[in-house]
Structure 1
Amino acid sequence: MLPDRFTANRPSFFINTAFLLGVMVLYPVAGALLFSLSGGSAEMVLVGGGIGAMLPKLRFVQVLGQLLVLALPVLVLAAVHVRRRLFSPESFRFLGLGGGVDSRLAWFGVAGVFLLQPLLYTVAGLQNLFLWPALGEAGAEVVRQRAVMEGFISELAGAGSLSEFFVVVGVLALVPAVSEELLFRGYVQGNYAASMRPLYAVLLTGTMFAFFHMSAANLVPLALLGYYIGYIYSRSGNLAVPMSVHFVNNLSALLLLALGGGSEAAGPEPELLLGMAWWWAAVPLSLLLFVFVMRRFSSIASAS
């Protein structure tokens, strides 16, 4: 990653952390408020179903919450830190945007996230087989909450036409990729990297990224994904690269959901894959290819 020309402008570790924690607390509160104002209720999520007529409003609420609570504060703070107007080139550079980027970095970054999927599925499968049953009632509650949230997301992602599917892609893939990367990698990780070693900044930001999604069942896979995205940002120095990877990761999940007919259980369950002999050959092979891709990614990043 190129030397940070904005080190003197960046907030301290404690201010940066306080801001992130504030956003993480405010985001679900703002989402619940916007959801309520749109005519929704918690029962719709907990019971499931009955939100079909409200889908346009719910999608609008999702986009509005991401833009107002995640993206806009970051853009405003970046402008304040560099003492420039909002949306100035200097404030975008503060967040890691602007300037040229080698397209190969995005391609290898995307390849890496696909090669990482077998490991993430394996972790999820091991949790389903061993961790949640071992936790008894607490584990059963984690599984129940995951099923409720997956059902809600499945309804939110439902599309009856190609044009509606593009709307869903914008709501659940593009806007989150841009907004969350502006917050976590562009602002938070960039600021942490000015006050600690880059590795620690990647690990801390990736962990907070996982907690932000409020899914105990997916905490470890999300943390691993966060570490990966943080690494490629640290090496590339351009936020367009992790944004691209994040978007493709979300898009692939939506495509799997669409191919599965809208069922939240699109594709085989992770624990079923663990019982297949070929899977245990596919996982190390994918990791070996992942290492090769990352070595290539790093060499391109170093030369850029």
Structure 2
Amino acid sequence: MMDPVAVRRPSFLFTTLFLLATMVLYPVAGALLFSLAGGSGEAVLGGGGIGGLLGPLRMAQASGQLMMLALPVLLLAAWHVRAPLFSLESLRFLGVRGGFDWRLAGFAVAGVFLLQPLVFTVAGLQNLFLWPALGAAGAEVVRQQAVMEVFIAELAHAGSVGEFLVVASVLAVVPAVTEELLFRGYVQGNYTRSMRPFSAVLLTGTMFAFFHMSAANLLPLALLGWYIGYIYSRTGNLAVPVSVHFVNNMAALLLLLSAGSSPVAGSDPELLLFKVWWWVLLLLSLWLFIWVMRRFSAIASSS
């Protein structure tokens, strides 16, 4: 698919330096906003919780992503194409365009659901074998992951429909839009000018995983990033990966809420890996995933 603004895309070096700067500054800005809201990063990392800071922290989370991820990308896109902010040309530079195909989005969303057993299996194998083998370093990874899961569970707590809509916006809508603008719309779009699309997908997806700063979820997030990158490479329409990202986040949020406020208490989900039926389910999901991707590719090629 020809990129109508490829000639104006920045170099690989410029894109990479911008991405690295964003990855460094984003957590710093988040910590600053959290501090301004009255929170303590040390208390959270130490397992102290966020207490009565839910409202300010949610606002800081959404504001940080909008200011540090979306706004710089939108400004850069307008600068690259020498057009006003939010002009059709600057938005097209980021893959924001019309002609949304519901069939493509439907197959793409089905694909991300069918990938979940593989993602769960990879995470479970890490928990069972990799982290114990790494000794103290692995134990610290597990501890940090447990703290983060409790933190996210607190952040996702919703006592009313109105609060749930706020939580869904903060944890599903805003990340889907801002992260896809950065990683697929800007970074992957620029990388495709400097390398093969396949390489651009792999590199962008890998950076997407590192961006989330979770050693325990590095490989699962890379799988998700590679998949979403592939979806974007075949459609060229940012609305499709945004839809996939949003549905993935929303499904995780609903699962978390249905599990209660303590997602790690009283269960060992990795024990599923010792069940024969789980591996049958995994093989079936992968077979269906391949079928869905073939249908997706056929529709994308004919569009």
Fold-level similarity (TM above 0.5): yes
| 1:120 match: secondary structure | helix
Tell me, in whole angstroms, the C-alpha distance in 1 between the residues paired with 2:262 and 2:103: 34
Does the alignment pair 1:256 with 2:255?
yes
- 1:146-169 CA-to-partner distances (Å, cap 9, x unmatched) read 011111111001111121111100
CA contact 1:78–1:91 (8 Å) conserved in 2: yes
Unmatched runs of 5 consecutive residues or more in structure 1: none
User: Could you tell me how far 1:102 is from its partner in structure 2?
Assistant: 1.1
Structure 1: distance between partners of 2:99 and 2:77: 20
For the 8 Å contact 2:73–2:181, the answer to whether it is kept is yes
CA deviations over 1:205-250 (Å, ceiling 9, x no partner)? 0000000000000000000100000000000110000000000000
Counterpart position of 2:65: 66
In 2 relative to 1, CA 266–172 (structure 1 residues): closer, same or farther, beyond 3 Å? Answer: farther
Do the aligned partners of 1:20 and 1:188 also contact (CA within 8 Å) in 2? yes
Match of 2:11 in 1: 12
Code of the aligned partner of 1:75: L
1:273-284 to structure 2, matched below 5 A, reads 273-284=272-283
Please give the secondary structure, in 2, of the residue aligned with 1:216.
Answer: coil
- CA distance in structure 1 between the aligned counterparts of 2:215 and 2:200, rounded to whole angstroms: 22
Q: Which residue of 1 aligns with 2:140?
A: 141
Q: Alpha-carbon deviation of 1:269? A: 4.2
Residue of structure 1 in register with 2:81 after alignment: 82
* AA at the equivalent of 2:58: R
Give the aligned partner of residue 106 of structure 1: 105
Q: Deviations over 1:128-184 (max 9, x none)?
A: 110000000000000001011111111001111121111100000000000000000
Structure 1 residue 55: Cα displacement: 0.4
Q: If the length of structure 1 is used for normalisation, what is the TM-score?
A: 0.97
Change (3 A) 1:17 1:158: same
Q: Does 1:302 align with 2:301?
A: yes
For residues 244 and 263 of structure 1, the distance between their equivalents in structure 2, rounded to whole angstroms, comes to 28
Specify the code of the residue in structure 2 equivalent to 1:124: A
Say whether the 8 Å CA contact 1:79–1:86 is kept in structure 2.
yes
CA contact (8 A) 1:113 1:249 kept: yes
Specify the alignment match of 2:45 in structure 1.
Answer: 46
Q: Work out whether 1:180 is the aligned partner of 2:172.
A: no
Cα deviation, 1:55-92, whole Å, max 9, x if unaligned, reads 00000000010000000000000001111100111111
Aligned counterpart, 2:56 = 57
Q: Residue 193 of structure 1: SS of its match in structure 2?
A: helix
Query: Which residue in the other structure is 2:149 paired with?
Result: 150
Deviation at 1:53, TM superposition (A): 1.4
In the other structure, the counterpart of 1:162 is: 161
Which deviations, in whole Å up to 9, do the C-alpha atoms of 1:24-70 show, x marking residues without a partner? Answer: 00000100111111111123312334523110000000001000000
Contact 1:146 1:217 in 2 (8 A): yes
Aligned length in residues = 303
Mapped to 1, the partners of 2:204 and 2:91 lie a distance apart of 20
Post-superposition shift, 1:266?
Answer: 8.3
**Structure 2 CA distance for partners of 1:164 and 1:49, relative to 1, 3 Å:** farther
Match in the other structure for 2:129? 130
Deviates more, 1:2-11 or 1:222-231: 2-11
Query: Which stretch shows the higher mean deviation, 7-16 or 256-265?
Result: 256-265
- 1:207-226 to structure 2, matched below 5 A, reads 207-226=206-225
Does the aligned pair in 2 maintain the 1:96–1:186 contact within 8 Å? yes
Q: Is residue 70–residue 179 contact of structure 1 (8 Å, CA) maintained in 2?
A: yes
CA drift at 1:264: 2.5
5+ long unaligned stretches in structure 2: none
Deviates more, 1:49-58 or 1:170-179: 49-58
Note the aligned Cα RMSD (angstroms): 1.2
Contact 1:97 1:238 in 2 (8 A): yes
Residues 210-219 or 4-13, more deviating: 4-13
In 1, distance between residues paired with 2:24 and 2:131?
26
| Paired residue secondary structure (1:189) | helix
TM-score, normalising length from structure 2?
0.98
Percent of aligned positions that are identical? 73
